[in-house]
Amino acid sequence: MRSLTVKLTLAFLLVGLTGAVLVAIIVQQRTRLAFDQYAFNKDQETLVENLLQYYQTNGRWEGIEMSGPGLFSFQPTPVPPFEGDKEFHREWPRFTLADAQGIVLSGGFPYQIGSQVPAEDLEHATPLEIDDSLVGWLVIPQTRREWGPDSPEGMFLHTVNNASLISALIAAAMALSLGGLLAYSMTRSLRELKEATLDIARGRLGRQVKVRTKDEIGDLVGSFNKMSLDLAHATQARRQMTADIAHDLRSPLSVLIGYTEAINDGKLPGTPEVFSVLYQETKHLSLLVDDLRTLSLADAGELQLNLLPCEAKSLLERVATRHAVAAQQKNITLRVEADQPIPAMMVDAERMAQVLDNLILNAFRYISPGGEIVLIAEEKDGKAQLQVKDNGSGIAPEDLPYIFDRLYRGDKSRQQNGASGLGLAIAKSIVETQGGTITGESTLGQGTTFTITLPAVSG
């Protein structure tokens, strides 16, 4: 049995059938008890009436004769005849008759004639009174009565039992029908999820399943749909990244192959200028491979970090010194603002220098001569905050949400400016690996600000 629908249907059937059987049994038992109590009360009323009639007629109890199981010689109050096909015998309950003092006059077990009925038994006995005068006691032990199948009582109980059985069968049938319908409805989304997962396994990514309920299954379907879309987007991004990397690798490789073939064929002399081109292209390839390796290590959680307390101001000054010559050559002002006391950061100084290098080099590409790059360090909410702010051309609003994506082509001329397109993605990975965050804000034509927030040294 592998079908969840069948299992749920049988479970509903079992629960419904069990409940119906239990209800039927309880109804039968309660009906029998209530009916026995009703018959007992009616018999008791008849016996009291007949006994009082006898006492009023004779003025005493002497002469009353008991025989059989509670029958007596005088003519009792007649019982209405049963209008049916079969005759039946009316069985009276066994009883004991005692006088006003509790002395047994007639009866059997557990009392002997002439014995005294215990006081505790008289508390449950029925007093026999004439004109508010006590003349005797009637003791009837309430026991389970056995009704003959042809008696009205027996036929009534038989009818009740049949009704209970039929009700149980109807309840079981309804449980089977409703359980099957409910099980089919509950498992419909699961079947669609199964088909969708098979489609994804076949490479049909992005498959969506209709959310039919607002319960846990609906939440599961919603999570699956999100996962499916994320997987489709990630796969598309991976394919695009692979194509971009192949394109970025192809450009310097084409230059290297073309130059080396020309030199090998003797068509191009090995001048310093030629070797300089070869060196630059080789360096470009090396940087691209290093960037890819850094991203791969960060994704795998294997990026080696040497976390030590580091002063934000000294870090910014060291990075600014490293790029001072390049800034001077481009006629760009590069300065540091870190006057206020700033808590030390627990970071890998070399990795953070790499992050700041990427941000400064990125600013160099989009800032005109005469522009300015400011490296700012300050404290915010007990954390160290670093900023790289420029007044360059800025980033278009439609590109800003994607600037940290790998190889995102916000700048369509990226291949011509020597960038790998991975700098910001690497910066984001390194910062987040150290427990920090990095964000970018930009206004087109006015400049861009990158903000890095890092945890301060505790204590």
Convert the pLDDT of each residue in 130-139 to its tens digit. Answer: 888 898 888 8
Residue 51's identity, in one-letter code, is L
Confidence of residue 143 (pLDDT cuts 50, 70, 90): low
- Interhelix angle 152-201/216-264, nearest 10 degrees: 10
Name 271's Cβ contacts closer than 8 Å, sequence gap at least 6. none
| SS3 call for 74 | coil
DSSP conformational letter for 83:
-
Q: pLDDT at position 385, please? A: 92
Residue 284: other Cβ atoms inside 10 A? 20
Helix (H) or strand (E) holding 262: helix 216-264
Q: How many helices (H) and strands (E) does the chain have?
A: 9, 13
Phi, psi of 124 (to 5 degrees): -105, 5
CA distance 334 to 320: 7
Tens digit of pLDDT for each residue in 15-46?
777 777 777 788 777 887 787 777 778 878 88
End-to-end CA distance of the chain: 62
Beta carbons within 10 angstroms of residue 84's beta carbon = 11
Q: How far lies 89's CA from each of 79, 114, 129, 148, 202, in Å?
A: 11, 31, 30, 9, 81
Q: Is 152 helix (H, G, I), strand (E, B) or coil?
A: helix
Dist. CA 342–CA 386, nearest whole Å: 10
Cite the residue boundaries of each domain of the chain with CATH code 1.10.287.130.
216-299
Q: Say if residue 221's pLDDT is above 90.
A: no
Do the beta carbons of residue 142 and residue 40 sit within 8 Å? yes
- Model pLDDT for residues 358-380, shown as the tens digit of each residue: 899 889 988 999 999 999 999 88
* CB-CB neighbours of 225 under 10 Å: 18
Fold of 308-454: Heat Shock Protein 90 (3.30.565)
Amino acid (one-letter) located at 65: E
Q: Would you state the pLDDT for residue 438?
A: 94
Examine the pLDDT at 172 and tell me if it is beyond 80: no
- CA–CA separation, 136 vs 127, rounded Å? 6
pLDDT tens, position by position, 331-347: 999 999 987 778 889 89
Where are the domain boundaries for CATH 3.30.565.10 in the chain?
A: 308-454
Residues 49-69 have pLDDT tens digits of 888 888 888 888 877 654 333
The two tokens of residue 368 are 């005109």
Given this model, what pLDDT does residue 332 score?
Answer: 93
CATH number belonging to domain 216-299:
1.10.287.130
Nearest to 93 by CA among 43, 146, 138: 43
- Residues 191 and 120: their CA atoms lie apart, in Å, by 71
